[in-house]
Structure 1
Amino acid sequence: MQEEEINYELRLYVAGKTAKSVTALANLKKYCEEHLKGQYVIEVIDLLVQPQLAEGDQIFAIPTLVRKVPEPIRKIIGDLSNEEKVLVGLNIRPR
């Protein structure tokens, strides 16, 4: 059996454990498990801990999801509760 490769590198920017941040991460994990099982990695960056990292991805609002790979880079702002919008934004075809 062939090892599945990581096709999606996702970075979620949050500021502490706010309700929106927690919801965004929960929603993101759910969608990834449903549509990208075994093909993704999620990096959560807390800007209260590492504020300097906001500049690199030009983060102006939180929570913000950044798809680093595959290119082009895409960003989605908000709690990611609209699954269809997230899948379209990340260019993921529902299974």
Structure 2
Amino acid sequence: MKKLPDEPYYVFVLYISGMNIHSLNAVKNLRKICETHLPGRYEIKVVDQLKDSEKILHNEIMVFPTVVKVLPSPERKLVGDLSNTAQVLINLGIK
């Protein structure tokens, strides 16, 4: 599917704490949501607290997993395994 000029590009940062079941589910669920609702219009960066604690502290992330929608503005955060697709779409402002 070709990106239309009025379709925004989304950038997400998913903060996790190790590759436990909650982290794995969050990664899987976010990818599925993006492929379904934003095909070809998204980027997901995964930051693991166990490997990059400085970035976690700098961004004041205290609960894992947490996804941050960086682009398009405004920035939004959501905590959890992202299993409730409707909640993710609404809370992250995905259209």
Mapped to 2, the partners of 1:14 and 1:73 lie a distance apart of 18
2:20 maps to amino acid: T
Q: Percent identity?
A: 40
Mapped to 2, the partners of 1:18 and 1:37 lie a distance apart of 27
Counterpart of 1:76 (choices 75, 78, 86) is 78
Counterpart of 2:61 (choices 54, 59, 65) is 59
Partner of 2:43: 41
Q: Deviations over 1:20-72 (max 9, x none)?
A: 00000000000000000000000000010000111232211000000011111
- 1:3, CA displacement in angstroms? 6.2
- 1:89, CA displacement in angstroms? 1.1
Task: Please tell me the root mean square deviation across aligned C-alpha atoms, in Å.
Answer: 1.6
Q: Deviations over 1:72-92 (max 9, x none)?
A: 110000100111000001111
**3-state SS of the aligned residue for 2:53?**
coil
Mapped to 2, the partners of 1:68 and 1:16 lie a distance apart of 22
Partner of 1:30: 32
Moved over 3 A (4+): 2-6
Q: Contact between 1:10 and 1:69, CA under 8 Å: does it hold in 2? A: yes
Gaps of 5+ in 2: none
Gaps of 5+ in 1: none
Counterpart of 1:21 (choices 23, 39, 62) is 23
Aligned residues between the structures: 92
- 1:6, CA displacement in angstroms? 6.6
